[in-house]
């Protein structure tokens, strides 16, 4: 009979949810920016249509 006690369940993680460090580093290196009258635009130099807008600044190195 299977164990139905929820406290007995364990969850194994294989790191699939965590980004590859080299991919993160490449993403940070390929991030470029330019200033406009409304503020600063950050974009992916490898894909210039991938840009973002935020209400506050975030240090990209610490976020990666």
Rg of the chain on CA atoms, in Å: 20
Q: What is the mean pLDDT of each run of 10 residues along the chain (64 residues)?
A: 51 58 76 86 87 76 76
Give the alpha-carbon dihedral of 61, 19, 45, 43, to 10 degrees: -70
- pTM greater than 0.85: no
Instruction: Show Cβ contacts of residue 60 under 8 Å, excluding neighbours closer than 6 positions.
Output: 28, 31, 42
- Using CA atoms, how far residue 61 sits from 26, 27, 50, in Å, is 11, 10, 18
């Amino acid at each position: 009979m299977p164990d139905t006690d929820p406290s007995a369940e364990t969850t194994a993680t294989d790191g699939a949810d965590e980004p590859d460090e080299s991919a993160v580093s490449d993403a940070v290196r390929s991030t470029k920016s330019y200033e406009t009258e409304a503020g600063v635009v950050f974009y992916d130099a490898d894909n210039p249509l991938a840009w973002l807008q935020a209400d506050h600044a975030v240090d990209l190195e610490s976020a990666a």
